[in-house]
A and B are shown apart, each in its own frame.
Chain A
Amino acid sequence: MSEVKEIDWYTLAGAGIIGGLICIYAAVILDAALGVNYFIFLGAIGAILATLWGADAVRKICKYGIGTGVPSIGMLAFGMGLLATLLGLKFGDYLVAKNILAMEVVGGIKAGLLVGPLAALVMALVQGFVIGFIAQNILKMKIPTMQVGMTMISGAASLIYLGYTVTIAGAFDFGTLVNNVINTGFIAPLFIVGALPMLHPFNACLGPDENQRRTLTLGVEAALMSTVIFGILSFAIFPNDIIGPVITVLLGLVAWVFAYLAYWQKVKESGTIILPTGLLPKKEEGQ
């Protein structure tokens, strides 16, 4: 198994950023163009790509042992991503309000608004860079991957916020985020159910025989469960138009079954002894 080459984290970062942004934009633009909410599940796909990116970055940082539990890094990422994301989206709204970039793209969406997610991502990356710099140079953690890794998890957290916001509420403007996601309290699961798929894979798989493919498979599996949860939450936002949420929940469930089986397959392939039941295996004497 270990002969399989690991995917480079810059490759995953590229997939996360480009794929994530494309999915988030596609979800909102397609929905607006057709006047439906069927495509909100695309937001979750964007978030899953970002989760993969973040999970790999968490893996690369925490390999060195950070002196406290793995989950704390996810909390840090989502804590610092929140305000940066809010500011980015607010910036998009501000452009619309001031009639800058006011040409209409499709279905009443103005170009200024589309700047929001990009601005959010950039600000989150800046924020992560600052925190990474602090951790590396002021707290002197001496982890070679800290600076880049921190930047990456902050960006991933921002994209996960954006992706699942689209899944829950079908839009990424500041007003929707505040009214439909934060004031309803859905930000609480968004914070923690969004963070878990990023930090759980490495936390669950760590050890000397950890393997990137298996860890990332687990990341996809966990993110699909989150997708189902956010699909359920979006019923509250679209109570009269439940086709979009239903599509999200069903697709999420089906894909989750396949992901879980794929993870199980990876566990079996790894060569760990799997016993239906029984006593402890005999160890060689003298150990």
Chain B
Amino acid sequence: MDPITLILIIALIAIGGLAVGIGVHFVPVGGAPAAMAQATGIGTGTTMLAASSGFLGLISAGLVTAEIVSGKISYPGFAEAVANGTIFTMDKITDPTILQAIAIIVVAGIVGAMLMMVILCVMPNILYIFGLGVPLASAKVKKDPITGDVQYTYVTKGTEGHGTPTVAVISSLIGGLLGGAGGALIYLALLGGQLSIATAAFGAVGIFFVNSVLASYNITGTIEGFHDPKFKRWPRAFIACLVASFVLGIWAAGIVFLGA
């Protein structure tokens, strides 16, 4: 087994896991208070919100990988490199066609995750506005940093805001971008180690969960996005997710190594 392959597998899993962990911090999570129109954000737990968007990214990335392997879109050499486990060797990884294939798979993951995230943000907003009759507002900032709208006058007294205003939507998109890219990278890393498609997919799900749960332990409850004071905690999650994913990467590289 080429040592570069093993190193790249560990590195990709560590980077992917790190992206997931940091991405979770961008997602506006309101948890139960959000569902009571008591806090800004989306009314789901941190872990599962990040997982929901990341998994659509994973499904999209898997679909695009299958299209490349089946030859529907042509990136010659990628299918063989995945099949014989040489994709993470020096001459393949510097081949522009292979790099383009990797890029399109990662972008597919990003687009899927961002799409899920934007639907998860906007659908509840429709319900907040037409079902409850409340405007969208955040109590953490006085003015929306992106649109400049005044926020605090629109917040019901005794709450911490309600709905997902534009700044939080944008923040969630960044979260989706990082989460989708991370999921797709982990999937590719495992697939490149000649694991079966199902093993790679489920390994990615497992690693995704570890990082999103660790990040949600760091957030403890609710966060609104990059404008939230809690966002300053990210360096802790940075180290935590990097170390955790690195260890998971070593296990994965071990499986690949013993499989040779």
Contact = CB atoms under 8 A, between A and B. Distances in A.
B partners with A:
yes
Interface of A: 66-69, 72-73, 75-76, 78-80, 82-84, 86-87, 90-91, 93-94, 123, 127, 130-131, 134-135, 138-141, 178, 182-183, 185, 187-188, 191
A135 B214 contact: yes
Given A67-B221, A78-B209, A138 B203 contact: no
Contact of A182 (B199, B217, B244, B247): B199
18 contacts: A67-B220, A68-B213, A72-B216, A75-B209, A78-B206, A79-B205, A79-B206, A80-B248, A87-B254, A87-B255, A90-B254, A127-B247, A140-B236, A178-B199, A183-B196, A185-B198, A187-B202, A191-B206
A73 B209 CA distance: 10
The 6 closest A-B pairs by CB, nearest first: A67-B220, A79-B209, A79-B206, A76-B213, A82-B206, A83-B251
Contacts of A183: 196, 198-199
B47 A72 contact: yes
A80 B206 contact: yes
A79 B217 contact: no
The dominant DSSP class at the A interface is: helix
Contact of B247 (A67, A130, A141, A187): A130
A93 B237 CA distance: 36
Contacts of B243: 130, 134, 138
Contacts of A67: 216-217, 219-221
A76 B210 contact: yes
Nearest to B196: A183
A138 B238 CA distance: 10
The dominant DSSP class at the B interface is: helix
A150 B77 CA distance: 43
B206 A83 contact: yes
Contacts of B132: none
B258 interface: yes
B229 to A, nearest CB: 16
| Residue among B199, B203, B207 facing the most chain A CB atoms (10 A cut-off) | B199
B135 interface: no
| Residue among A68, A127, A131 facing the most chain B CB atoms (10 A cut-off) | A68
A94 B254 CA distance: 11
Interface in B213-260: 213-214, 216-221, 236-237, 239-240, 243-244, 247-248, 251-252, 254-255, 258-259
A189 B221 CA distance: 28
Contacts of B88: none
Given A75-B213, A76-B210, A138-B239, 20 more contacts: A67-B219, A68-B46, A68-B219, A68-B220, A69-B45, A72-B47, A75-B209, A80-B206, A83-B207, A86-B203, A87-B258, A127-B251, A131-B244, A134-B243, A135-B217, A139-B237, A139-B240, A141-B217, A191-B205, A191-B206
Contact of A91 (B48, B216, B258): B258
Contacts of B205: 79, 191
A178 B210 contact: no
B210 A138 contact: no
A74 to B, nearest CB: 10
Contacts of A78: 206, 209
B78 interface: no
B202 to A, nearest CB: 5
Contact of B213 (A72, A123, A182): A72
B208 interface: yes
Contacts of A69: 45, 47
A187 B258 contact: no
